[in-house]
Chain A
Amino acid sequence: MESDQRGTMTASTQRAETKTALEVDALVKRFGDLTAVDNVSLKVRAGECLGLLGPNGAGKSTLIRAMVGRVIQDSGQVMVMGKAAGSTEARMALGWVPQELSIYPRISCRENLGSFGRYYGLKGQALKEAVAWCLNWAALEEKQNDVAKTLSGGMKRRLNMAAGMMHRPKVVLFDEPTVGVDPQSRNRIFEMIEALRDAGTAIVYTTHYMEEAERLCDRIAIIDHGRIIAEGTKEELVEKTFGTCSQVLARFAGDRDAIEKWAKRHGGRVTAETAEFTIEQAGEIAPLLEAATKAGLELLDLSLRRPNLESVFLHLTGRELRD
């Protein structure tokens, strides 16, 4: 009976009991008149992956840099494993994988890892072991003596990630780690991140790819204009945003402007050649199609779906994630 109770413990209850690894509390950062981060509060627990989604210029990078301790905030605070971001303890507990390839291009993979390991204070056997672990984690053992700039795009990305893992941090920030990576390498990167998460590392993951967020992230925070406008699991976000509504996707032949005007008149919008409507009941579909026929639009195909993360993002920000 008791074991049954433990077995039915919800995932959210488990998370609540896990220690907070990263905490952002009422953080504000202004650049002149621009408020890049506006009263943001977040928590990431050990073994949890938080997806940070937002359009370009939403404040993601500033927020990430504040977590690294590279930003002097106007107010609020960022704590990494209970220590103020930027302190030596926080630096040692945090790994950062920047979006740019922040490695030394003219030296080998092994030398790159060795350099970053030393920057984190590793030496001797500990350094050797860390290099070996990172090479293995990033599947770069065979390329360990290759000069970084000669690696393929995916390998460079993996080396970029491995360089942030040398000190085996408890919190890792991944800033769009799959930019410009082919699908095969991307899959490899997902596996690397999943391995970290399963080992209890707290992860913050920013991306422009919704499918990455859906696959990797336990929770998602959507940031726009410097504010967190929604936060929760994928299901929670969909539920909060759309309730029990569904989405009707309809493709029409004909003039795009006419389709857009018609869709707007009926509370929908057109994205990627498809008119999109949110409905509460299936009975709303027939009147919609009737109106389309009356407007002279020729229906090509029609589908009904449960709203997804992309729908949530679009609904909340008015922009697609890749804009």
Chain B
Amino acid sequence: MMTTPQDEEGPRTTLASRITSLLGSGLVQLFLVCVALFWLMPTLGLFVTSLRSPQDNASSGWWTALLEPAQLSLENYAALLDNPDFVASFVNTVLITVPATVIIVVVASLAAYAFAWLEFPGRDWLFLIVVGLLVVPLQVALIPIAQVYGGAGLYGSILGVVLFHVGFGLPFAIFLLRNFFAAIPRDLLEAARMDGGREITIFRRVILPLGGPAIASLTIFQFLWVWNDLLVALVFADAQSAPMTVALQSEMRQFGANLDVISAGAFLSMVVPLVVFFAFQRYFVQGVMAGSVK
């Protein structure tokens, strides 16, 4: 959960309580309730829609189901899991996301370690170039990589999508990890080297445990980024390797006739990110804070 310094609250009068006494608590409550409704209602609407039959959805609003809960069922989800195309797109999302996350975390850890702890000529220049690459928008890389993939036979493949995500995510990943690794006390590393520790041992015994939180943040950040991506998959994946975002996006073109498929599919695609989000909220927030430059 997010950290709330409840314990050290003390006598501090919060700005919130002072504003409340200035404006009257009614007005402040009203603002908070409006925001809450605005943020919850749309998602609730999608969820309820996904539990209603196509006929019900076509004839009345989802909110009517709140009064007649009998019409709710899991049939849309059952139908979706019976649909081989949807299942394949779900599997594709996993096939893209897992390797893209593993590869980037490993490759970036190695590079960040070198930038933080090894002495070699041109180190600072190289790191500056990596940071500079943070500027490059995805769009700039699409056309040349599509041409490269065309020549290499990677166009349309899952591997192509994975490699693109890795290349594009690396500058941020290295930037994030280097800053954390550089903060590891020098003594610890020196001690490990003195003990005759080989690099692989130092990496495993010192860097991985101490850099753990940073690596966790990066892992979650990268996982959600790739899981939720549309553009890269739209350009580089063919029909067989398309992930859920692409499948849902193409369903949207006939919006209206397929509300049951879209609502249930969209909700299923959100389940994994939401579980990750609630399970690792602390790391996720750290990743987002550190990721302000991406």
| A and B pair up | no
Chain A residues packing against B (C-beta within 8 Å): none
Chain B residues packing against A (C-beta within 8 Å): none
